[in-house]
């Protein structure tokens, strides 16, 4: 085992502190500083967590596909650990999107769920992510899980834009806050708040990715050491009198 898990405890603590600080600031700004929306009331503020989570989910899917391609090219299992961690985080943030969405939709649209475009495609995205994780966990060994996971991740990354486009063709109704034209755009204060929350969530994503990656490396090292110890115990004292 020539590769050891990098420690970098100082960086990790600094990163954690930054995330904690920004998250507190985000909550304060979202609930105390930014003006409320006129018609929707307080529930509109969930938007500042909903949108950054969606961005993180897409980031996770993109990273997972990129790391998967690197893994298939280089066959270095560290790329696979990163791909797996990205997919897990994409699933986590996609779940947050699917939970916060209906909480907003109930008072504003009057229903928890409709067959609307982005709801449907995000649910499909979530199902694909779950399929990816289930496939990995049902593979026979780590090598198989890595190769198959990479193949599914690349197919999914090609498929997801097509899914979003095709569902959009099928029907449409989601509030287009970010790219609205005319008088319906976002208030500058709201825009800044959204930016703050997005940066916070990206940093949180990066922190979790780093932690998950380190955990993966450690788990792999433990497996290798256990294997070596077992072999030594089996052949050691018995073989040499």
Partner 1 sequence: MNYWRIAALVALRDIRSELRSREQIATLLFFSLLVLVVFNFAFDFTVIDFVALGPGILWVVFSFAGVLSISRSFQQEREEDRMQGVLLAPVDPSAFFLGKVAANTLFIAAVEAIVVPLSILLFNFRFGPAVGLVILALALNTIGFAAVGSLFACMTTRTRRGELLLPLLLFPAAVPLALAAVKTTGHLLAGRPLERVTGWLGLSAAYDLIFLAAAVLLFDHVVEE
Give the footprint of partner 1 on this chain (CB under 8 A).
72, 124, 127-128, 130-132, 134-135, 138-140, 144, 147-148, 150-152, 154-156, 158-159, 162-163, 165-167, 169-170
Comparison of 82 and 194: residue with beta carbon closer to partner 1 = 82
Minimum CB–partner distance for residue 108 and partner 1 (Å) = 26
Q: Find the shortest distance in angstroms from Cβ 233 to partner 1.
A: 29
Give 137 or 181: the residue with its C-beta nearer to partner 1.
137
13 or 74: whose CB is closer to partner 1? 74
Least separation in angstroms between residue 154's CB and partner 1 is 6
User: Is the separation of the CB atoms in 49 and 96 below 8 Å?
Assistant: yes
Of 80 and 88, nearer to partner 1 (C-beta) is: 80
Query: Cα separation of 59 and 239, whole Å?
Result: 53
Cα 217 to the center of its chain, rounded Å: 19
Contacts with 149 (C-beta within 8 Å, 6 or more apart), sequence order: 68, 80, 83, 84, 87, 132, 135, 136, 139
Give the 3-state secondary structure of residue 41. Answer: strand
Q: How far is the CB of 148 from partner 1 (least distance, A)?
A: 5
Spatial contact of 121 and 163, defined as CB atoms under 8 Å apart:
yes
Q: What is the largest CA-CA distance in the chain?
A: 88
Instruction: Indicate the residue among 168 and 191 with the shorter CB distance to partner 1.
Output: 168
Closer residue to partner 1, CB minimum distance, 66 or 139: 139
Minimum separation from the CB atom of position 171 to partner 1 (A): 10
- The two structure tokens encoding residue 130: 């779950």
Shortest distance, CB of residue 235 to partner 1, whole angstroms? 27
CB-wise, 78 or 192, nearer to partner 1? 78
What is the distance between the alpha carbons of residues 205 and 214, in angstroms, rounded to a whole number? 14
Judge whether 62 and 156 are in contact, CB under 8 Å. no
Determine the Cα–Cα distance for residues 185 and 189; give it in Å rounded to an integer. 12
- How far is CA 86 from its chain centroid? 6
What is the separation of C-alpha 15 from the centre of its chain, rounded to a whole number of angstroms? 18
What minimum distance in Å lies between the beta carbon of 8 and partner 1?
A: 32
């Amino acid at each position: 085992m020539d590769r050891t898990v990098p420690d970098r405890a100082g960086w990790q603590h600094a990163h954690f502190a930054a995330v904690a600080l920004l998250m507190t600031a985000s909550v304060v700004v979202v609930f105390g500083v930014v003006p409320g929306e006129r018609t929707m009331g307080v529930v509109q503020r969930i938007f500042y967590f909903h949108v950054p989570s969606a961005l993180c989910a897409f980031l996770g899917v993109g990273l997972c596909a990129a790391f998967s391609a690197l893994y298939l090219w280089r066959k270095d299992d560290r790329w696979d650990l990163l791909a797996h961690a990205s997919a897990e985080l994409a699933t986590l943030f996609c779940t947050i999107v699917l939970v916060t969405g209906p909480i907003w939709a109930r008072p504003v649209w009057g229903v928890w769920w409709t067959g609307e475009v982005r709801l449907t495609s995000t649910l499909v995205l979530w199902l694909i992510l779950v399929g990816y994780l289930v496939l990995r966990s049902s593979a026979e060994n780590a090598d198989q899980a890595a190769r198959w996971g990479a193949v599914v991740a690349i197919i999914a990354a090609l498929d997801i834009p097509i899914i979003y486009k095709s569902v959009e063709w099928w029907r449409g109704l989601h509030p287009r806050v970010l790219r609205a034209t005319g008088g319906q755009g976002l208030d500058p204060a709201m825009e800044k708040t959204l930016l703050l929350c997005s940066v916070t969530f990206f940093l949180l994503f990066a922190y979790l990715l780093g932690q998950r990656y380190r955990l993966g490396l450690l788990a792999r090292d433990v497996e290798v050491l256990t294997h070596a110890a077992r072999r030594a115990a089996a052949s050691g004292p018995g073989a040499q009198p």
